[in-house]
Structure 1
Amino acid sequence: MTELKNDLVLRALRGEKTERVPVWMMRQAGRYLPDYLKLKAKYDFFTRVQTPELATEITLQPVDQVGVDAAIIFSDILVIPQAMGLEVLMEEGKGPSLPQTMKTQEDINCLITEGVEESLKYVTDALSLTKKELNGRVPLIGFAGAPWTILCYMVEGKGSKTWDKAKQFAYTQPQLAHQLLQKITDITINYLKAQVKAGADMVQVFDSWAGALSPADFKMYAQPYLVQIADALKDDAPVILFPKGTWYALEDLSKTSAAGLGLDWCISPQMARQFTGNRITLQGNFDPSKLLAPIPEIKRSVKEMIDGFGTQRYIANLGHGIMPNVPVDHAKAFVDAVKEYNHE
Structure 2
Amino acid sequence: MTSLHSGHPLAAGRTAGSRLVRSYQGERQEVTPVWFMRQAGRSLPEYRELRVGTRMLDACLDPAMASEITLQPVRRHGVDAGIFFSDIVVPLKLAGVAVEIQPGKGPVFEHAVRTADDVSRLEETDPASLGDDTFAAIAEAVRLTTAELGDTPLIGFAGAPFTLAAYLVEGGPSKDHIRARTLMHADPEAWARLMAWTADVSGAFLRAQVLAGASAAQLFDSWAGSLSLADYAEHVAPASARALSHVRDLTYEVAEAPGAGGSEAAEAGEPDTRNVPLVHFGVGTGELLKAMHDVGADAVGVDYRIPLDEASRRLGHVVPVQGNVDPAMLDAPWPVLEAHVRDVLRRGLEAPAHVLNLGHGVPPETDPTVLTRVVELVHAWRAA
TM range (shorter): over 0.9
Return 5+ residue gaps in structure 2 as ranges. 1-6, 251-275
Out of 143, 147, 165, the residue aligned to residue 132 of structure 1 is: 147
Q: Deviations over 1:183-223 (max 9, x none)?
A: 11122222222211100111000000000111111112222
Does structure 1 residue 12 correspond to structure 2 residue 52? no
Does structure 1 residue 96 correspond to structure 2 residue 107? yes
The answer to which of 220-229 and 163-172 deviates more is 220-229
TM-score by length of 2: 0.85
* SS, match of residue 144 in structure 1: strand
Residue of structure 2 in register with 1:318 after alignment: 358
Residue of structure 1 in register with 2:381 after alignment: 341
Return 5+ residue gaps in structure 1 as ranges. none
1:56 Cα offset (Å): 0.6
Out of 91, 101, 110, the residue aligned to residue 80 of structure 1 is: 91
Residue of structure 1 in register with 2:199 after alignment: 185
Paired residues for 1:133-282 under 5 Å: 133-136=148-151, 138-236=152-250, 237-282=276-321
Q: Please tell me the residue identity of whatever aligns with 2:382.
A: N
Q: Greater CA radius of gyration, 1 or 2?
A: 2
1:312 Cα offset (Å): 4.7
Q: Distance in 1 between matches of 2:190 and 2:98?
A: 21
Q: Distance in 1 between matches of 2:294 and 2:59?
A: 38
Residue of structure 1 in register with 2:120 after alignment: 109
Residue of structure 2 in register with 1:26 after alignment: 37
Residue of structure 1 in register with 2:264 after alignment: none
Query: % of aligned pairs identical?
Result: 35
1:256 Cα offset (Å): 4.7
Q: Distance in 2 between matches of 1:46 and 1:230?
A: 24
The answer to which of 1-10 and 275-284 deviates more is 1-10
1:43 Cα offset (Å): 1.8
The answer to which of 248-257 and 304-313 deviates more is 248-257
TM-score by length of 1: 0.95
Residue of structure 2 in register with 1:330 after alignment: 370
1:278 Cα offset (Å): 2.1
1:323 Cα offset (Å): 0.9
Q: Given that residues 255 and 279 in structure 1 are in contact (C-alpha distance below 8 angstroms), is that contact kept between their aligned partners in structure 2?
A: no
The answer to which of 195-204 and 41-50 deviates more is 41-50
Q: Distance in 1 between matches of 2:180 and 2:365?
A: 30
Q: Distance in 2 between matches of 1:252 and 1:92?
A: 34
Q: Given that residues 156 and 215 in structure 2 are in contact (C-alpha distance below 8 angstroms), is that contact kept between their aligned partners in structure 1?
A: yes
Q: Distance in 2 between matches of 1:74 and 1:331?
A: 18
Q: Please tell me the residue identity of whatever aligns with 2:193.
A: Q
1:283 Cα offset (Å): 0.3
Q: Given that residues 226 and 241 in structure 1 are in contact (C-alpha distance below 8 angstroms), is that contact kept between their aligned partners in structure 2?
A: no
Q: Deviations over 1:92-123 (max 9, x none)?
A: 22222112111222322222222253223211
Q: Given that residues 238 and 295 in structure 2 are in contact (C-alpha distance below 8 angstroms), is that contact kept between their aligned partners in structure 1?
A: no
Q: Please tell me the residue identity of whatever aligns with 1:134.
A: L
Q: Distance in 2 between matches of 1:106 and 1:85?
A: 17
* RMSD (Å), alpha carbons: 1.6
Paired residues for 1:49-68 under 5 Å: 49-68=60-79
> Structure 1's 49 and 22: CA in aligned 2 closer, same or farther, altered over 3 A?
same
Q: For this pair of structures, how many residues does the alignment match?
A: 343
Q: Distance in 2 between matches of 1:153 and 1:254?
A: 23
Paired residues for 1:291-302 under 5 Å: 291-302=330-341
1:4 Cα offset (Å): 2.6
Q: Please tell me the residue identity of whatever aligns with 1:170.
A: M
Q: Distance in 2 between matches of 1:81 and 1:228?
A: 17
Q: Given that residues 21 and 312 in structure 1 are in contact (C-alpha distance below 8 angstroms), is that contact kept between their aligned partners in structure 2?
A: no
Residue of structure 1 in register with 2:4 after alignment: none
Q: Please tell me the residue identity of whatever aligns with 1:189.
A: G
